[in-house]
Chain A
Amino acid sequence: MTAEVRFEAIHHRFGNFTALHKVDLTIAAGEFIVLLGPSGCGKTTLLSILGGFVTPTEGKVIINGKDMTHVPPRGRPTTTMFQDYALFPHMTLLDNVGFGLRMRGVGKSERRTRAQEMLEMVGLGDKASRRPHELSGGQRQRVALARALAVSPDVLLLDEPLGALDMKLRRQMQDELKAIQRRVGTTFVHVTHDQEEAMAVADRIVVMNQGRIEHCGSPEDVYLRPASLFSANFMGEMNRIPVTANGQNAQSPFGPIAMTMTGREGVLCIRPENIGFSGDVSLGPARLVESGFFGTHHRCHFEPLAAEGTRIVAHLPQGSQPGIGQNVELFATNAVILRDEVAA
C-alpha cells in the first residue's frame, strides 16, 4: 500500500507567526523522504498538516489524487510514529499493535494474527503479552513502528522517531527503518533535525528553513551540490571563503580560482574532506598550522601563504598529514560557489 502525496501552495500561520510560506512539494509513491531543518523551520507543521492534525491556513494536501485538506486523521490513509512513541500503557504490545485494526472493525482472531506478524517483523514476537513500560526505548520504538504499519497505511509519517535513542541504537534503527520501508513499499515521510540520519535513510532530502524549502534532492545532491548557503552549512561543516567576480572567474583572498561564477559576490564552499593534495580546483600553497587525529581522519588547519589570517580546514586521510609548519599545494574537489544570502 503506497500513495503519492502532493502539497499545493501550503501556507500556514500561527497567530502572527508564519510557519510555512506557500510550500509546494510532490512526494512519489513508495519514496522515503526526509524533511530536514532546524527547530522552528516548519517541518513538523508540514508533517502535522499531512497527518490531519493541523488544517493549513491556505493550500491543499492531495493524497493519492484525492483532496484531503479537511479530512480528519482517522479518515486519512496515513499513520504516524510519534516522537515519544505514544503507546497505550494499559494495553499489551499485541493490543497496541492491533488497535488500528480493531478501530477498522477487523475480527479478533485476524487482528491477533496480523499484530503478531507485525511484532515478528520488528523482532518482538516473543514479547506480545508484555506492556510498554517493560520495554527499553528502542523496543518501544519498534512497537510504535509496528502499530503504525499494522493498518497498512499508504503513507507513514515519522516525527523525529529516533530522537530519544543513543547513537549506536539510532544507527541500527536507521538501517532497520530503511530495510522495512523497502520491504513494505509504503511512502515514508520522516522529520528530523539530524543531517546524518537524513542522509542515512532518505531517497530524497527536503531541507527546510524558516517555512520555506531551501533544497530538495538526493542525499548526494544536497550534500555535495547544495543549492543555498543555508543548506550547505546545515548538512555539515563547510569552508566558506568569500569570492568576487573577476571577469568570468572567481577571485579569492589568496588568488584566482578556476571556477566560473554568476553575480558579483559569492561564497566558495568546500567540505573539509574534499580538500587534499590533488583535485580539480587549485587553492595554491598553504602552511599547516595545527592538526589533530580524529580516528577516521586528520583534521588540519591550513593558512594560505597568499592570505594570512584566512583558515582552511581539511580532513586528510589517515597517515597522509604533513608536519606542522610545512608548506603544501592544496586542491579541492566538489567545490561550489553560492550567493551570499546575508549580503543579498
Chain B
Amino acid sequence: MRILSWAYLVLIFVFILLPVVALVVFSFQDGRLPVPPLKGFTLKWYAEVIADRDLMAALWNSFIVAFGSSAVALVLGFLAASGLARVALPGSVVMRGVLIAPMTVSYLIIGLGLLQIFNKLGLRPSLLATGIGHVVINLPLCFSIIYAAMGEHQRNALRAARDLGAREWQVLALVSAPMLAPALAASFFLSVTFSWDEFIIAFLLTRFDITLPVEIWSMLRSGLSPKTNAIGSLVFLVSVAIVVTLELTLFRKPRP
C-alpha cells in the first residue's frame, strides 16, 4: 500500500509538471527544434529573447496591463465589498450576484462583447482596451475574495473607528485596508497572474502594441523554436517568483 501511494504521488507530480519541465529543459536545446533528443546545452536562445525588441516590448506591455488592470480591479473590488458589507440594501443579493456574474462567462464572449462596445464608442483596440477587459474579468475575483474576508470582527472594528471620529475614507484607509491586507494582496497578485497570461481578450482587443501571450502566439505561427521555450520559461519564472514571495511573506503566519 505504501509503495502504491508513493507511486501515485509521483505520477500526479509528473502529470502536472512534465509539460513545464519539458518547456524549461528544451529552452536550453542546442539545435533548431525544442524536441528530443536533447543535443546539448546552450543559453543562446535566452540571449536572442533578450535581444528581441518586439518580444521585450510585449513583455513590458504585459507588465503594464497586468499591474494597471489589477490595481484598478483591486480598488473597485475593495470599495464594492466595503459598501455591500456595510449596509443591507433591498437588492444586496442581486448586486452581489451581478458583480460576480462575469466569472461564469467565457473570456471569448466577454472579449467579443467588449470589441463591439468599444467599436461603437470609438475606442480602438489598444493596451487600454485590453486593460479594461482584464478589469472586467478580475473585478469579480477581487470582490469575492475581499468580501469573503470581511467578518463580524471587521465590522465591529470599523464601527469603533467611526465612533472614535474617523471619516469614511479614514475608516477605509487606516482600519479596513490594513486589516484586510492578506486578502487584498492575494486578490491583487491573483489578478496579476490571470492578466499576465490572458490571451483571448488581449488577442481581440490589441492591434499594434501587443501583450506577451499574443506575441508568443504570433511566434508560434512560424513554427516551434527553443526561443519560444526560453520566453515561456522566463514567464514561468516570474509567476513562480510571485507565488514564492507570497508564500514566504503574507501567507506564512495567518493573523489571528
Contacts and interface: CB of A to CB of B under 8 A. Distances in A.
Interface string B131-162: 00000000000000000000011001101111
Interface in B171-205: 174-175, 178-179, 181
Given A53-B159, A82-B159, A90 B179 contact: yes
A88 B157 CA distance: 6
A116 B127 CA distance: 52
B116 interface: no
Contact of A103 (B159, B164, B178, B255): B164
A157 to B, nearest CB: 9
Which range holds the interface residue count of chain B? 20 to 34
A103 B166 contact: yes
A contact residues, range: 20 to 34
Contact of B162 (A74, A89, A133, A147): A74
B119 interface: no
B210 to A, nearest CB: 41
B163 interface: yes
A211 interface: no
B168 to A, nearest CB: 9
B37 interface: no
Contacts of A87: 157, 160
Contacts of B153: 84, 86
Nearest to A79: B163
A74 B160 CA distance: 10
Contacts of A53: 159, 163
B164 A151 contact: yes
B17 to A, nearest CB: 38
A91 B256 CA distance: 13
Contacts of B166: 74, 99, 103
B181 A86 contact: no
A305 to B, nearest CB: 57
A51 B164 CA distance: 11
Nearest to B256: A133
Interface string A87-117: 1111100000001100110000000000000
B92 interface: no
A80 interface: yes
B77 to A, nearest CB: 20
Nearest to A83: B156
Contacts of A148: 164
B42 interface: no
A74 B179 contact: no
A72 interface: yes
B26 to A, nearest CB: 47
15 contacts: A72-B162, A74-B167, A84-B152, A88-B157, A88-B178, A89-B179, A89-B255, A89-B256, A90-B179, A100-B165, A103-B167, A133-B255, A133-B256, A147-B160, A148-B164
Given A74-B163, A100-B164, A133-B256, 13 more contacts: A73-B162, A74-B164, A74-B166, A79-B164, A84-B152, A86-B157, A86-B160, A88-B157, A89-B255, A89-B256, A103-B161, A103-B165, A133-B255
Interface of A: 51-53, 72-74, 78-80, 82, 84, 86-91, 99-100, 103-104, 133, 147-148, 151
